[in-house]
Amino acid sequence: MDEGIRLIQTNLRETDTALDPVRLVRQLEEYSANALLFGMGGIVAHYPTKVEFHYASPHMPAGRDTFGEVLREAHARKIRVIGRFDLSKTQKAVYDAHPEWFFRKANGEPVIYNGLYSTCINGGYYREHAIRILTEALERYDVDGLFFNMFGNPAADYSGVPIGNCTCESCKKRFREMYGRDLPTGRDPVYGEFLEKSRLEVATRIGALIHAKRPNAAFWTYIQGLVDGITSESNTAVNRPLPLWPYSASDNVNRARNSQPDKMAFNLGIGFVDIPYRFVTVPPAEVQLRHYQNMAHGAGPAFVAVGTLDQEDRSGLLATKPVFDWHKRHADLYVGQESAARVLLLGGRQGSYRGFFRLLSEQLIPFAVSDNFSWLQERPRQFDLVISSQGLPAELEDYLRQGGRVLAAGAIAPQLEVGKVVRRWTNTRSAYLRIHDRALFPSLQDTNLLFLDGEYLEFEPPAKPLLTLIPPSMFGPPEKVHVDWTETTKPGVLLREYGKGKVVYIPWDVGGLYYRHSSPGHAGLVTDLIDHLLPSRQVKTNAHPLVEITVMSQPQRKRTLVHLVNLSGHSETAYFPPIEMRDIQIGVQGDFRRARAATLNRELPLASTGGYRQFVLPSLGTYEVVILD
Ligand SMILES: [Zn+2]
């Protein structure tokens, strides 16, 4: 939390154990990395372990201790080292000696992948033997942390083949104790909860062991709570449905830093294309975009490869180097950053949430993301507006009563009273919404209609409707298009006072529709409603919608940072270097005396108008950060 981190992760293969530690650490220095996450133990130990059922790589030369040597070289150069373990699989010899430690499919068979046997989170390997393995590792090596891959029982193997529920004796016994019935063999609503509880129990023990043996070392895995930092990935996969999500790193870091502000976020930029293609990297511009997005939202850049740093495809590391160099030279900009955004977006279902995420970014409205309500009580934070892409949660009641403003959407019955629900429409294909209120919707002056698709929650009509439903009607052939349509008073949006606050409810999935179709009508509707609810915008700018702007504060340095990330190089599945943007006018609310652009390395003249300090950024390449103090 108080030092900038530039992390390189490399997952070692067993054949990499013979690597040259001096060369590896020199390469880390050349790339300006100050933290290394790399292979330590579990499936293969990269050190001469003495613990039974834990095996050093057969490729480690006699007398060598690869992990120990890298650790020593790295620490001598002030590079932190996090050891990576994978306890989810091990060798046949362990299975032969302790079959009860292993995952069992419904037919009683173990899960075997490339000769490795899958362990079970509830078996003795994870619950007892792992403690012996980790005790040796922690006592021998002054690690700065341990990271655990595949923590718990995955639902599928590496090839994506489902393996079902584990039916080992430990799972059967624990499930019966916890739920008073037999372990389900198929899908079951509580099975996920059972596995999660099992994971958390083991994580609690391992976390406690790490903190007891190495009080300064951190515990990481892909779970929330318990861990000392929040890990996420920006990655690609060959079978993932399109569109790509070019805001992946921003989304992960924004959400992590604002959901759990007392923990650092580690968003790992996965260099390779997919798990079956680990030796070819994604476009260099995509690698850099992820790094800059991490930094703009309060985390450090992080790059992941497999093998040594002598990569077959060097483009990912080469793209990483200038960003890491920059971060090292300007380390003070990336320490102690907190979001200063005045708008909050609540986490939600992917498409609906992403629609709002992208729209806010395109509208250049700085926003924080949270997937919890800790900002209401535990860590109080003031927001001018809260946006929910999926319904109106009851937790917002006090916030609204005390004068808060909420924009909520989705055909989901609101948990707070905003009107009387008549019925839910499950299909509105070929329906429209007619715009009535011209004053409220200046962005919609060139159209009378918005399109509606998907579910719609019908409320009783208000006295003065803003938008009304035109229900589905004939859409073909052209001779018959909508000749039968009918006007109604069924509302397309509800607007009402709530206590001292105000709530707008859009009873259909405008976020999901915007994510898929980017209709300017939907964008205009939401933007005008946001501007109706907001007392004023935090940032006023003429920047292009594909410039991402974040406003961060550094309370200890009493200054504000405005980050600009240029996304204009993204198209479909391609990432190219972004197009240079010129003469971007930016006004930020607040009282600042000085503006300096770090990338351009120059002062920017400041002007004042009505609560805003304004400056012009003459040129934006890939990334800029303007320091206001
Ligand atoms: Zn089991």
Note the CATH number of domain 540-628: 2.60.40.1180
From the CA of 185, how far away is ligand 1's center (Å)? 12
Q: CA angle, 290 as apex, 338 and 322 as ends, to 5°? A: 100
pLDDT at 160: 87
pLDDT digit string, tens, across residues 211-239: 999 999 999 998 878 899 999 999 999 99
The two tokens of residue 511 are 């976020």
Q: Are 238 and 273 in contact (CB under 8 A)?
A: yes
From the CA of 404, how far away is ligand 1's center (Å)? 48
From the CA of 153, how far away is ligand 1's center (Å)? 8
Provide the residue type at 157 as one letter: D
Provide the residue type at 225 as one letter: G
pLDDT at 184: 93
From the CA of 118, how far away is ligand 1's center (Å)? 10
pLDDT at 625: 98
Grouped pLDDT means (10 residues each) for the chain, 629 residues: 96 97 98 98 98 97 97 98 97 97 96 96 97 98 96 89 95 97 91 94 96 97 88 96 95 97 96 96 98 98 97 98 98 97 95 98 98 92 96 97 97 95 98 96 97 98 95 97 97 97 98 97 98 97 98 97 98 96 98 97 96 97 98
From the CA of 202, how far away is ligand 1's center (Å)? 13
Cα(440)–Cα(532) distance, rounded to whole angstroms? 7
From the CA of 180, how far away is ligand 1's center (Å)? 17
From the CA of 105, how far away is ligand 1's center (Å)? 9
From the CA of 109, how far away is ligand 1's center (Å)? 12
From the CA of 120, how far away is ligand 1's center (Å)? 5
From the CA of 99, how far away is ligand 1's center (Å)? 11
From the CA of 157, how far away is ligand 1's center (Å)? 15
Among residues 548, 556, 568, 572, which one has the least CA distance to residue 625? 548
- The terminus-to-terminus CA distance of the chain in angstroms comes to 22
pLDDT at 223: 82
From the CA of 114, how far away is ligand 1's center (Å)? 20
CB atoms within 10 A of CB 327: 23
From the CA of 166, how far away is ligand 1's center (Å)? 5
Q: What contacts 171, CB < 8 A, 6 or more positions away?
A: 120, 122, 165, 183
From the CA of 38, how far away is ligand 1's center (Å)? 28
Cα(408)–Cα(61) distance, rounded to whole angstroms? 61
Task: Order the strands of the 467-470 sheet from edge to edge.
Answer: 449-452, 431-435, 467-470
* Strand-pair partners of 265: 230
pLDDT digit string, tens, across residues 498-512: 999 999 999 999 999
From the CA of 584, how far away is ligand 1's center (Å)? 58
Residue 520: cis peptide before it, omega within 30 degrees of 0: no
From the CA of 373, how far away is ligand 1's center (Å)? 34
From the CA of 106, how far away is ligand 1's center (Å)? 11
What single string gives the DSSP state of each residue in 488-514? ---BS-EEEEETTEEEEEE-B-HHHHH
Domains of the chain: which residue ranges?
Answer: 342-537, 540-628
The two tokens of residue 518 are 């980017």
Cα(180)–Cα(177) distance, rounded to whole angstroms? 6
In Å, how far are 228, 260, 266, 272 from 252, measured between CA atoms?
A: 16, 12, 9, 18
From the CA of 221, how far away is ligand 1's center (Å)? 20
From the CA of 85, how far away is ligand 1's center (Å)? 20
In Å, how far are 80, 234, 348 from 291, measured between CA atoms?
A: 19, 10, 24
The two tokens of residue 582 are 């010129």
Cα(84)–Cα(71) distance, rounded to whole angstroms? 13
Q: Are 450 and 443 in contact (CB under 8 A)?
A: no
Cα(562)–Cα(329) distance, rounded to whole angstroms? 18
From the CA of 102, how far away is ligand 1's center (Å)? 7
From the CA of 171, how far away is ligand 1's center (Å)? 4
In Å, how far are 35, 151, 189, 195, 335 from 192, measured between CA atoms?
A: 34, 14, 7, 5, 37
Provide the residue type at 193 as one letter: E
From the CA of 119, how far away is ligand 1's center (Å)? 8
Cα(414)–Cα(417) distance, rounded to whole angstroms? 7
> Domain 342-537, what architecture?
3-Layer(aba) Sandwich (3.40)
From the CA of 48, how far away is ligand 1's center (Å)? 29
From the CA of 124, how far away is ligand 1's center (Å)? 10
Q: Are 6 and 36 in contact (CB under 8 A)?
A: no
From the CA of 93, how far away is ligand 1's center (Å)? 19
Among residues 448, 527, 461, which one has the least CA distance to residue 492? 461
Among residues 433, 438, 475, which one has the least CA distance to residue 451? 433
In Å, how far are 255, 296, 551, 582 from 566, measured between CA atoms?
A: 20, 11, 15, 12
CB atoms within 10 A of CB 279: 13
pLDDT at 186: 85
From the CA of 152, how far away is ligand 1's center (Å)? 10
From the CA of 199, how far away is ligand 1's center (Å)? 12
* Strand-pair partners of 221: 148
From the CA of 553, how far away is ligand 1's center (Å)? 47
